[in-house]
Amino acid sequence: MTDPAAAPAPPGAPRLLGLDTALYLVTDSAMCRAAGRSVAQTVALAVEGGAGLVQVRDKHAGEAEFDELARSVVAAVEQTRDRLGIDHEIPVFLDDRVASARRLLDEGLRVHVHVGQDDEPVERVRTAIGPEPLLGLSASNEQEFAAGEAAGGVNLFGVGPVWATQTKDVARAALGPERIRELAAAARLPIVAIGGIGAGNAAELAGSGAIGVCVVSAICAAPDPRAAAQRIRAAFAETPHLDDPAHLDEPSDPPAPHPAGGTP
Ligand SMILES: Cc1ncc(COP(=O)(O)OP(=O)(O)O)c(N)n1
Ligand SMILES: Cc1ncsc1CCOP(=O)(O)O
Ligand SMILES: [Mg+2]
């Protein structure tokens, strides 16, 4: 188990300062298509609804197709930011596709990378993309946190699945919100929670220490992605369990602000 008090926070965490991390949209091209929209249209609507982080995830696209998809998402995010006057960056992560990230960075596009435990090791990813882009790593227990922190160059952990999901074949059991709370306290980098999250349960993660909730199907397959994003974001910002007597004994002091500053 990592001890948060044992050493100073590793470099990486302060990189999230100024971002709006509460709602992290992860795209699924097939779901967007089935709902009658392009990925870029879905992203624009989700950003209007309050998504502050975006990840392009497509397990089937060929390399050139994925590059084009990522370009379309970066353009959609930039147009939406301009239109709404959003002055902070809305980072676009590429899931798994380190070579694509390198190509797009070389074109002058600002992209970031997310990898998992079975993907390219984070040391190699960081070498490939250079010091500037954000690097997310899937990590769902204390051992994976320790390894990711020791590797250096990681900025945030994606932790899940919180609940059962149809979107990905996940071998691990669902963690549940209480375990997310424990893991958020154990990690020395900011965590975002992923898996089975929607408007109906996002409030259970409010105050958990996660700086955001990652959502695929509840936005990509929604009839109205803008409204879905608004509802999930609002639910995550809610104080949970106010009607639950078990919480009435808890101290009323607000939690210390997270270093990333993105907690709603
Ligand atoms: C933010 C975030 N967290 C976790 C994941 C899952 O990544 P991974 O375990 O590599 O699985 P795939 O998404 O690649 O199937 C993620 N993509 N984003
Ligand atoms: C990519 C990924 N990693 C862990 S769960 C998951 C899928 C989450 O999708 P959904 O939000 O539809 O449950
Ligand atoms: Mg992966």
Q: Is the CB of 225 under 6 A from ligand 2?
A: no
Which domain, by its residues, includes 108?
18-248
Which CATH number fits the domain that encloses residue 151?
3.20.20.70
Q: Is the CB of 206 under 6 A from ligand 2?
A: no
58 is in an annotated binding site: yes
Pair of tokens at residue 216: 């695929």
Q: How many domains does the chain have?
A: 1
Give tens-digit pLDDT for 131-189: 999 999 999 999 999 999 999 999 999 999 999 999 999 888 999 999 999 999 999 99
Q: Tell me the Ramachandran region of residue 239: left when phi exceeds 0, alpha when psi lies from -120 to 50, beta otherwise.
A: beta
Helix (H, G, I), strand (E, B) or coil at 135: strand
Domain-embedded: residue 192: yes
pLDDT at 128 over 90: yes
Cα–Cα nearest to 75, from 112, 105, 101, 44: 44
pLDDT at 190 over 80: yes
Contacts of 117 (CB under 8 A, 6+ apart): 137, 138, 139, 144
Domain-embedded: residue 70: yes
**pLDDT for residue 44:** 98
Ligand closest to the CA atom of residue 195: 2
d(CA 207, CA 189): 16
Q: Closest Cα to atom 1, ligand 2: which residue?
A: 168
Q: Closest Cα to atom 13, ligand 1: which residue?
A: 95
Q: Is the CB of 128 under 6 A from ligand 2?
A: no
54 is in an annotated binding site: no
CA of 48 to the centre of ligand 3 (A): 27
pTM here is 0.88
Give tens-digit pLDDT for 78-120: 999 999 999 999 999 999 999 999 999 999 999 999 999 999 9
**pLDDT for residue 238:** 74
Domain-embedded: residue 157: yes
Amino acid at 156: L
- When pLDDT is averaged across residues 197-217 and rounded to a whole number, the result is 97
> Residue 225's pLDDT band (boundaries 50, 70, 90)?
very high
2 is in an annotated binding site: no
d(CA 115, CA 139): 10
Domain-embedded: residue 34: yes
**pLDDT for residue 247:** 36
> Residue 255's pLDDT band (boundaries 50, 70, 90)?
very low
DSSP tag of 132: S
Ligand closest to the CA atom of residue 116: 1
Q: Is the CB of 229 under 6 A from ligand 2?
A: no
Domain-embedded: residue 236: yes
pLDDT at 228 over 90: yes
CA of 214 to the centre of ligand 2 (A): 8
Domain-embedded: residue 263: no
Query: Percent of the chain beyond pLDDT 70?
Result: 85
Domain-embedded: residue 194: yes
Ligand closest to the CA atom of residue 136: 1
Domain-embedded: residue 220: yes
Q: Closest Cα to atom 3, ligand 1: which residue?
A: 158
